[in-house]
C-alpha cells in the first residue's frame, strides 16, 4: 500500500514531528506497513527518536514523518534498545539473520494472528518470536491498538494497552513508553498470557453476545405472538388477508414490547440483588453466577432497549405514509358519508392519544439521556453521584414513564372481550408483567424498614455479627448510599 494513512503534509506541518528533541530516546521499528507508519508517527509525536528498518528504504522513506530515519534492517537495529517488530508471524524467520545485533535488546511484538492461525498454533506469536531470539527479551504490547487510534490519539479509541513479558524490567520500560504515548498500560503478567492478549482483537463484541441473543429472542417471540393475533386470526376466522401488515405494522407493534421488557430487565437484577442481600443479611457473599453476569450486561441491555425504542419511533412516523393507511382513510370517509355521520369526534380517544404520545416522547427522551451518559467520554466527566443519579434515578423514571405510556395505550382494551383473539390477551398486558414487578419491588424497598436495613448491609453491617452498627441520620444516608 503506497498511499500512507496520514499525509506527508499533515506530518510536516507539526514542528514536534519534524524535529525530535535533542537527546530523545531512540526506538527502532522493523516493518514499513500501515501500523508501522502510525506507530512511528505516534512515537515521534511523543518525543522519541525513531529509526525504521525496511527491505526497501528508498521506496518507503516518503511514507514516514520527515524526522524518522528509514534505513535497512541491519542498520536500524544497531543502536536502539527497544525494537518494535511490526511484521507478520510468517516473516519472523527472515529476521533470524539479525540475531547477533538483536542480542540483549527488547523486542516488542505488535502482531495479531487471524482466527485460523490462532486455532492452528498452540503458542502465541510472541512466544514463537521469543523461541527464535532466545537472547532477547520479548514483550507483547500494542496489538489491541489500531493504526487509526495511534494516529488520532487515545482520546478517540481505547486507552488501555495490555502488556505481558517474563522480565519485569522490560515491562516497566514499555509501560513508561505507553504512558509517554498517552495510553494506559495494563499488566497481564508473564509472556504465557500473550495468547490471551492476542485473542482480544479476535473477539467480536463479546459483551454484546448474550444481550443481543436476548433481544433477538424477545423480538421473535413477540413478533410471532403479534402475527397470530393481528394477521393469522383475521385470515382464519374472518377470511381477511392482512399479511401486508408484516413488514411495518407487526414490526412496529413488536419493537416497543421488546424495548419495554429490555428496560425492565435492566433494573430487575438490581431488585433481585437487593432481595438477596436482605435475605442473607450481608453483602459479603457472592451473588450467583447467573445474577453476576446479568448485572454486568445491564449497560448493553439498556442500549438495546434504547435502539428498539428509537426504531419504534421511526416506524411510527412511517405509519401514515403507507398506502394501506390511505385506503383506510378513504374507506372511513366513504363509510361516514353512507351512514350520514357528520361528526365522529370521540373526546375520550382524543385525550388518550394525546397523553399516550406525550408520555412516549418523554420516555424516549429520558432513555436518550441514559444512552448518552453510558458513552465513556460522557461517563468519565461525571462523578459517581451524578452517574448514579442518571443511570439509577432517571432510569427508573424512564421505566415509570414507559409503563404509563403502555397503560394509556391499552386503556380499557384489556377488559374488552373482542381484544382476546384466539383467546390470547392483548400484547401490552404481557409486557406489563416484569416492569410492574420491578416498580412494586422498588416501592417496597423505599419503605423505612427495608430501606434502613438495606443501607446498613451495604455499609458493612452483617446479620450474625456481634459488632454494634450505628447509622447516620436519614438525610445523609439517602445522599451517600449507593444503589445496586
Q: Identify the residue with better confidence: 13 or 41.
A: 41
pLDDT at 453 (0 to 100): 93
Residue 256 C-alpha from the chain's centroid: 22
Span 307-338, pLDDT tens digits:
999 999 999 999 998 888 888 888 887 877 77
| C-alpha–C-alpha distance, residues 362 and 383, integer Å | 25
pLDDT at 142 (0 to 100): 95
Which CB contacts under 8 angstroms, 24+ apart, belong to 370-379? Answer: 370/302, 370/306, 370/394, 370/395, 370/398, 371/302, 371/303, 371/306, 374/299, 374/302, 374/303
Give me the residues paired with residue 164 across strands. 140
Rounded to an integer, the average pLDDT of 373-393 is 88
Q: Identify the residue with better confidence: 471 or 278.
A: 278
Q: Identify the residue with better confidence: 205 or 372.
A: 372
Residue 345 C-alpha from the chain's centroid: 47
| C-alpha–C-alpha distance, residues 278 and 445, integer Å | 10
231 has a pLDDT exceeding 70: yes
pLDDT at 9 (0 to 100): 39
| Under 8 Å between Cβ of 44 and 68 | yes
- Between 19-28, 36-45, 412-421, the lowest mean confidence (pLDDT) is in 19-28
DSSP 248: I
pLDDT at 467 (0 to 100): 53
Rounded to an integer, the average pLDDT of 163-173 is 96
| Residue ranges per structural domain of the chain | 26-200, 206-459
| C-alpha–C-alpha distance, residues 176 and 153, integer Å | 17
Place of cell 448510599: 481
Span 400-417, pLDDT tens digits:
999 999 999 998 888 988
Rounded to an integer, the average pLDDT of 367-373 is 94
Equal fold, 26-200 vs 206-459: no
| C-alpha–C-alpha distance, residues 408 and 413, integer Å | 10
Span 449-465, pLDDT tens digits:
999 999 999 888 888 76
Was domain 206-459 assigned CATH 1.20.120?
yes
Angstrom CA distances, 442 to 168, 458, 460, stand at 50, 16, 22
85 has a pLDDT exceeding 70: yes
Question: pLDDT grade, residue 472 (50/70/90)?
Answer: low
67 burial via Cβ count (<10 Å: 0-12, 13-18, 19+): buried
| Under 8 Å between Cβ of 132 and 94 | no
CATH class of the 26-200 domain in this structure: alpha beta
| Under 8 Å between Cβ of 199 and 118 | yes
Question: pLDDT grade, residue 247 (50/70/90)?
Answer: very high
Rounded to an integer, the average pLDDT of 219-227 is 97
**Residue 443: in which H helix or E strand, if any?**
helix 433-445
pLDDT at 6 (0 to 100): 42
pTM over 0.85: no
State the DSSP string of 302-334: HHHHHHHHHHHHHHHHHGGGSHHHHHHHHHHHH
Angstrom CA distances, 23 to 49, 143, 392, stand at 9, 28, 52
Question: pLDDT grade, residue 223 (50/70/90)?
Answer: very high
Rounded to an integer, the average pLDDT of 238-242 is 92
pLDDT at 471 (0 to 100): 54
pLDDT at 3 (0 to 100): 41
| Under 8 Å between Cβ of 279 and 359 | no
Span 345-366, pLDDT tens digits:
888 889 999 999 999 999 999 9
116 has a pLDDT exceeding 80: yes
pLDDT at 463 (0 to 100): 82
Rounded to an integer, the average pLDDT of 423-438 is 95
479 has a pLDDT exceeding 50: no
Amino acid at each position: 500500500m503506497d498511499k500512507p494513512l496520514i499525509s506527508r503534509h499533515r506530518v510536516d506541518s507539526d514542528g514536534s514531528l519534524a524535529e525530535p528533541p535533542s537527546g530523545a530516546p531512540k526506538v527502532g521499528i522493523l516493518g514499513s506497513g500501515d501500523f508501522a507508519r502510525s506507530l512511528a508517527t505516534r512515537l515521534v509525536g511523543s518525543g522519541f527518536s525513531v529509526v525504521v528498518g525496511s527491505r526497501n528504504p528508498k521506496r518507503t522513506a516518503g511514507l514516514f514523518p520527515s524526522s524518522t530515519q528509514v534505513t535497512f534492517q541491519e542498520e536500524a537495529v544497531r543502536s536502539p534498545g527497544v525494537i518494535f517488530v511490526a511484521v507478520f508471524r510468517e516473516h519472523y524467520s527472515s529476521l533470524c539473520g539479525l540475531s547477533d545485533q538483536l542480542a540483549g535488546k527488547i523486542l516488542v511484538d505488535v502482531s495479531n494472528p487471524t482466527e485460523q492461525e490462532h486455532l492452528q498454533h498452540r503458542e502465541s506469536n510472541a512466544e514463537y518470536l521469543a523461541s527464535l531470539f532466545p537472547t532477547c527479551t520479548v514483550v507483547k504490547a500494542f496489538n489491541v491498538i489500531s493504526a487509526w487510534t495511534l494516529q488520532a490519539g487515545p482520546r478517540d479509541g481505547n486507552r488501555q494497552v495490555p502488556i505481558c513479558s517474563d522480565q519485569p524490567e522490560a515491562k516497566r520500560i514499555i509501560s513508561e513508553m505507553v504512558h509517554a504515548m498517552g495510553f494506559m498500560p495494563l499488566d497481564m503478567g508473564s509472556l504465557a498470557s500473550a495468547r490471551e492478549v492476542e485473542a482480544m482483537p479476535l473477539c467480536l463484541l463479546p459483551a454484546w453476545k448474550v444481550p443481543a441473543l436476548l433481544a433477538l429472542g424477545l423480538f421473535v417471540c413477540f413478533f410471532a405472538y403479534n402475527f397470530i393475533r393481528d394477521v393469522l386470526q383475521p385470515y382464519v376466522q374472518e377470511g381477511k388477508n392482512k399479511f401486508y401488515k408484516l413488514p411495518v405494522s407487526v414490526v412496529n407493534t413488536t419493537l416497543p414490547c421488546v424495548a419495554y421488557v429490555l428496560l425492565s430487565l435492566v433494573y430487575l437484577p438490581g431488585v433481585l440483588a437487593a432481595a438477596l442481600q436482605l435475605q442473607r443479611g450481608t453483602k459479603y457473599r457472592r451473588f450467583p453466577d447467573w445474577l453476576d453476569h446479568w448485572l454486568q450486561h445491564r449497560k448493553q441491555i439498556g442500549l438495546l432497549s434504547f435502539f428498539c425504542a428509537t426504531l419504534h419511533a421511526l416506524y411510527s412516523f412511517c405509519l401514515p405514509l403507507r398506502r394501506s393507511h390511505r385506503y383506510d382513510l378513504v374507506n372511513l370517509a366513504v363509510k361516514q358519508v353512507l351512514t350520514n355521520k357528520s361528526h365522529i369526534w370521540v373526546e375520550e380517544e382524543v385525550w388518550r392519544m394525546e397523553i399516550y404520545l406525550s408520555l412516549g416522547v418523554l420516555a424516549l427522551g429520558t432513555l436518550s439521556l441514559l444512552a448518552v451518559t453510558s458513552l465513556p467520554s460522557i461517563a468519565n466527566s461525571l462523578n459517581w453521584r451524578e452517574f448514579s443519579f442518571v443511570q439509577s434515578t432517571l432510569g427508573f423514571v424512564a421505566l415509570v414513564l414507559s409503563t404509563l405510556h403502555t397503560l394509556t395505550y391499552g386503556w380499557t382494551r384489556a377488559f374488552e372481550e373482542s381484544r382476546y383473539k384466539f383467546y390470547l390477551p392483548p400484547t401490552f398486558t404481557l409486557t406489563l408483567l416484569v416492569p410492574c414487578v420491578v416498580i412494586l419491588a422498588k416501592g417496597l424497598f423505599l419503605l423505612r424498614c427495608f430501606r434502613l436495613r438495606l443501607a446498613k448491609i451495604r455499609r458493612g453491617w452483617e446479620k450474625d455479627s456481634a459488632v454494634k452498627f450505628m447509622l447516620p441520620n436519614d438525610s445523609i444516608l439517602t445522599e451517600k448510599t449507593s444503589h445496586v
